[in-house]
Amino acid sequence: MFRFRKVAQSDKDRIMEISSKIWEGHDFIKYVFDQWVSDTEGEFTLGEKDGVIVGFAKYTRHSDNEAWLEGIRVDEKYGNTGFGKAITQYHISRAKAEGIDIIRLSIYIGSKESIKIAEGLGFKKDGYFTTAYKELDKTGAKSSAAKNIINIMSTATAWDLITRGNSYYMSNGYVSYGWTFKKLTYELADMLVKKKCVYGVLREGKVSSVMILTENSHMDGGLNIGFIDGDMASMKDMVDFLIHHALKLGMEYCEIMAPMDERLINVLELSNFEFLSDRYREVNVFVYSMKLLG
């Protein structure tokens, strides 16, 4: 029914036409199109029906045994043709052929059809989050807020702080990059430490809390809290530092995919973050995974 092929630069106008009708014109595809087209390790795939491009999706390898599926879009005129299911199956087959063990994706709770497709194909809910953001202006955190925040330079220390805390359990070990998630491994923690993305609160000579800052994989101009854990006072200090640091870097916004931790949600409220949903104390973003081998 559908013919699948890699997206080419010459397909941009049609891809943008489809994307422009998603999320009331606020779709992120325009920010990542060139990057996705040039990705040689994954595949930016479109589907054609009778020679017409009707939709697309992006498949990305996160490691030798893990893959991520995102950006599944279909022209509203072809919304009931089964395209979403077909392109997902196409990439599941690709992942199996490549020896991928697990494939994952994230879905907003309001995307009922996407949830139906994912669960119908065998994806299982594996992560539960609420998303929040803060647009930045010249009123940031006070400079003094950053004085007790340090870069954690030891991977062993970072790993211990991350994995022993409540947030690790609540997030099921996920680190977020906007709407993209990766399972935290010691190797990933080591890479983040070396990139100076891991921070802690230093009190009385001891590091008691931890925060990982990541970039949004879909949009420029923002700084993302990929992971955060600690007592409320420490998390508030780290969020204040995030705002201060983001302003210093000239960022336009901060964001977080927060696990369902009341302490963290309270801190975000105190820091004047806005939430995507009015029912933000309930889950509104799911991470789904499917085990392909074994």
Asked whether residue 141 carries a pLDDT value surpassing 80, the answer given is no
Give me the mean pLDDT over the 188-207 stretch.
94
Q: pLDDT tier at 41 (50, 70, 90 boundaries)?
A: confident
For 42-66, the pLDDT digits (tens) are 999 999 999 999 999 999 999 999 9
C-alpha distances (whole Å) from 93 to each of 89, 167, 202 are: 6, 34, 48
- Residue ranges of domains in the chain: 3-100, 131-284
The Cα 278–Cα 280 span in angstroms is 5
Asked whether the beta carbons of 21 and 77 are under 8 A apart, the reply is no
Task: Give the number of other CB atoms < 10 A from CB of residue 6.
Answer: 11
Asked whether the beta carbons of 100 and 66 are under 8 A apart, the reply is yes
For 93-131, the pLDDT digits (tens) are 999 999 999 999 999 999 999 999 999 999 999 999 999
DSSP 24-90: GGT-SHHHHHHHHHH-SSSEEEEEEETTEEEEEEEEEESSSSEEEEEEEEE-GGGTTSSHHHHHHHH
The Cα 74–Cα 83 span in angstroms is 7
Q: Check residue 121 and report its DSSP letter.
A: H
| Residue type at position 225 | I
> Using N-to-C axis directions, what is the helix angle for 262-270 and 232-248, rounded to 10°?
50
The Cα 163–Cα 188 span in angstroms is 13
In the block, which residue shows the tokens 């990057």? Answer: 35
Q: Could you say which of 3.40.1710.10, 3.40.630.30, 3.40.50.300, 3.40.640.10 is the CATH number of the domain covering 3-100?
A: 3.40.630.30
C-alpha distances (whole Å) from 55 to each of 37, 72, 265 are: 15, 7, 36
Q: pTM for this one?
A: 0.92
CATH, range 131-284: 3.40.630.30
Do 131-284 and 3-100 have the same topology in CATH?
yes
Which is nearest to 89 in space by CA: 59, 63, 61? 59
Q: Give the pLDDT of residue 205.
A: 85
